[in-house]
Amino acid sequence: MTDDVSLSALWHEVTGTQPDPEQWLIGATAAVALLAVLTGTPWRLLRNAVTIAHEGGHALVALLTGRQLTAIRLHSDTSGLTVSRGKPHGPGMVLTAAAGYTAPSLLGLAGAWLLASNHITALLWGAVLLLAAMLIMIRNAYGVLSVVLTGAAFFLVSWFAGPDVQAAFAYWSVWFLLIGGVRPVQELQRKRARGRAPSSDADQLARLTHAPATLWVFLFYAVSLGALAGGATLLVD
For residue 15, is pLDDT > 80? no
CA distance 227 to 13: 28
Tell me the C-alpha distance between 197 and 178, whole Å: 24
DSSP string of 44-59?
HHHHHHHHHHHHHHHH
Terminal-residue alpha carbon distance, the chain:
42
Distance from C-alpha of 151 to C-alpha of 135, rounded to nearest angstrom = 10
Predicted local confidence at residue 1, as pLDDT: 47
Beta strands in 12-111 (DSSP E): 68-74, 80-85
pLDDT of 150 higher than 90: yes
pLDDT at 2: 59
Give per-residue pLDDT as tens, 79-107.
999 999 999 999 999 999 999 999 999 99
DSSP state of 138: B
Q: Average pLDDT for residues 199-212, to the nearest whole number?
A: 95
C-alpha triplet 150, 69, 95: angle, nearest 5°: 90
